[in-house]
Chain A
């Protein structure tokens, strides 16, 4: 019931402010992001049990709809759904129906007809998950698993979880994000989440060709020099350098990028002594990060993966729970208006 919500948030939330779809961290209320982190905290322990499963989403069907290939994100979403006891269907769309000429909407209608409860969507085009969220039948929740250069909200939230786990909170924190910011949906979602959660300063470090022009509007400070940018930061987030960037002449060479922006122990000295090093993976050793740092005592890269499963469990159960309450309400209201035949969201 927040009248000032941006359109992106309106489609994500139910009328009473619960998560319904998870498409972007932008414009979400701080309390909701904190709820995601708190709920994830209670799922972390499930991974350490004899039986790594809770029956919360038993009987629900989660469809992984990956229009762009991904191994890590897809498999952690799959594992998260399985640990919630949901049934999981993996669709590698790049190799399936759409390549035979079926339209996206027809694919969606077919999956709805299979009584899916959730779509986890990865798409090369920015905004595709929003389009799908607006088109799906009201009983289906949509989770954005990365769209174009736009957003990757579950990655950002698992990073927020990792930061909160090691730093206790966000107040007073200086966080640096390093590398190819311009093409990074992860960075964009991280900047929004860090600002909403109250981090003191968000810095973006990279060569001018790989920095966004609207960084200040995003709520971040820009640096092109590692020594200045990393000074006194609490958290260093390295981004993967995509090799395609070299081909498009945005960078001279991998070697030069590593010399200027690659994180080694010498450059890490500029950060605070207790600074942690994060990376969304997969890492390119010797391109954006040196092995001495990636495998070093301040690296929390593998812990991010573990927390990622718990955070995805939290987002999935919250969205399905919000979706249920919303479609129940909708079904009730359409029922009273049009009789039982009008209740499309009810199954």
Chain B
């Protein structure tokens, strides 16, 4: 199963509309999680009536699996070109699964300051949650068997497809 640019656009349009409806009066800040989340955040920004300030987070140093998986050689640094204190943050990722990436990203956000609120925006929710985290705005919810993942490719054009995991019982793959 896969999603072409057109199908993803329908999702992104609906998500941008939901953001505009629910957050327009709060002047929120967009924070994408590297790398897929940043693409989605950028795509949402292109669809909003006025583009929001956009930052990127790479929570690699905040993950809970350092002991088992180690450190990736190249970690794109987080860039938040604004003060998060007292601001409403829209945290954006491509795929939500276990919730561990989101936990790591929230921990990192709090090291930059104290936001007024954080809301979660994801393109796909594929279930298998291991933490009490849910999306506030979601493009599409899927019920996937444990060995399948959604992979987003981009940034332009954005394409998504379902892939089978090669490694067995790796429940900790991103998201």
Q: A and B bound?
A: yes
**A residues at B contact (CB < 8 Å):** 18, 35, 38-39, 41-42, 44-46, 49-51, 53-57, 317-318, 321-322, 324-325, 328
Q: Which residues from B are CB-within-8-Å of A45? A: 77-79
Contact at A317–B71, with CB atoms within 8 Å? yes
Rounded to whole angstroms, the CA-CA distance of A53 and B67 in the bound complex is 18
Q: Which residues from A are CB-within-8-Å of B58? A: 42
Q: Does B165 interact with chain A (Cβ within 8 Å)? A: no
- Rounded to whole Å, the gap between the CB of B65 and the closest CB of chain A is 11
Contact at B112–A51, with CB atoms within 8 Å? yes
Rounded to whole angstroms, the CA-CA distance of A53 and B108 in the bound complex is 10
Known contacts A49-B112, A54-B111, A44 near B77 by CB under 8 Å: yes
Q: Does B107 interact with chain A (Cβ within 8 Å)? A: yes
Q: Does B10 interact with chain A (Cβ within 8 Å)? A: no
Rounded to whole angstroms, the CA-CA distance of A45 and B110 in the bound complex is 15
Q: Does B82 interact with chain A (Cβ within 8 Å)? A: no
Contact at A39–B75, with CB atoms within 8 Å? yes
Interface centre among B67, B71, B111 (most CB of A within 10 A): B71
Known contacts A45-B78, A54-B61, A39 near B112 by CB under 8 Å: no
- Chain B positions 57 through 94: 1 when the CB is less than 8 Å from some CB of chain A, otherwise 0: 01011100011101101111111000000000000000
- Chain B positions 89 through 104: 1 when the CB is less than 8 Å from some CB of chain A, otherwise 0: 0000000000000000
Which residue of the partner chain A has the closest CB to B110? A51
Given A41-B77, A51-B110, 9 extra CB contacts under 8 A:
A18-B70, A38-B73, A39-B73, A39-B75, A46-B61, A49-B112, A51-B111, A54-B61, A57-B66
Contact at A56–B70, with CB atoms within 8 Å? no
- CB contact between A39 and one of B62, B74, B110 (< 8 Å): that residue: B74
- CB contact between B71 and one of A39, A44, A55 (< 8 Å): that residue: A39
Contact at A56–B66, with CB atoms within 8 Å? yes
Q: Which residues from B are CB-within-8-Å of A324? A: 66-68, 70
Which residue of the partner chain B has the closest CB to A323? B70
The majority secondary structure among interface residues of chain A is helix
Which residue of the partner chain B has the closest CB to A317? B71
- Rounded to whole Å, the gap between the CB of A200 and the closest CB of chain B is 26
- CB contact between A55 and one of B73, B79, B107 (< 8 Å): that residue: B107
What 5 A-B pairs have minimum CB-CB distances, sorted nearest first?
A321-B70, A54-B61, A51-B111, A42-B75, A35-B73
Contact at B107–A50, with CB atoms within 8 Å? no
Which residue of the partner chain B has the closest CB to A31? B73
Rounded to whole angstroms, the CA-CA distance of A50 and B111 in the bound complex is 7
- Rounded to whole Å, the gap between the CB of B155 and the closest CB of chain A is 20
Contact at B113–A50, with CB atoms within 8 Å? yes
Jot down 25 A-B pairs with beta carbons below 8 A, ordered by A: A38-B74, A39-B71, A41-B77, A42-B58, A42-B76, A44-B77, A45-B78, A45-B79, A46-B61, A53-B111, A54-B62, A55-B107, A56-B61, A56-B62, A56-B66, A56-B71, A317-B71, A321-B66, A321-B70, A321-B71, A322-B70, A324-B66, A324-B67, A324-B68, A328-B68
- Rounded to whole Å, the gap between the CB of A335 and the closest CB of chain B is 16
- Rounded to whole Å, the gap between the CB of B85 and the closest CB of chain A is 8
Q: Which residues from A are CB-within-8-Å of B62? A: 54-56
Which residue of the partner chain B has the closest CB to A38? B74
- Rounded to whole Å, the gap between the CB of A293 and the closest CB of chain B is 32
Which residue of the partner chain A has the closest CB to B70? A321
- Rounded to whole Å, the gap between the CB of B72 and the closest CB of chain A is 9
Contact at A50–B112, with CB atoms within 8 Å? yes
Which residue of the partner chain B has the closest CB to A313? B61
Q: Which residues from A are CB-within-8-Å of B75? A: 39, 42
Rounded to whole angstroms, the CA-CA distance of A44 and B67 in the bound complex is 23
Rounded to whole angstroms, the CA-CA distance of A317 and B73 in the bound complex is 11
Rounded to whole angstroms, the CA-CA distance of A168 and B108 in the bound complex is 29
Q: Which residues from A are CB-within-8-Å of B68? A: 324, 328
Which residue of the partner chain B has the closest CB to A44? B77
Interface centre among A38, A50, A325 (most CB of B within 10 A): A50
Which residue of the partner chain A has the closest CB to B114? A50
Rounded to whole angstroms, the CA-CA distance of A51 and B85 in the bound complex is 13
- Rounded to whole Å, the gap between the CB of B137 and the closest CB of chain A is 28
- Rounded to whole Å, the gap between the CB of A49 and the closest CB of chain B is 6
Rounded to whole angstroms, the CA-CA distance of A343 and B76 in the bound complex is 36
Rounded to whole angstroms, the CA-CA distance of A42 and B61 in the bound complex is 10
Rounded to whole angstroms, the CA-CA distance of A321 and B78 in the bound complex is 21
Q: Which residues from A are CB-within-8-Å of B113? A: 50
Rounded to whole angstroms, the CA-CA distance of A321 and B68 in the bound complex is 8
Rounded to whole angstroms, the CA-CA distance of A42 and B79 in the bound complex is 10
Which residue of the partner chain B has the closest CB to A55? B62
Which residue of the partner chain B has the closest CB to A85? B61
Rounded to whole angstroms, the CA-CA distance of A38 and B78 in the bound complex is 14
Rounded to whole angstroms, the CA-CA distance of A260 and B46 in the bound complex is 62
Contact at A42–B107, with CB atoms within 8 Å? no
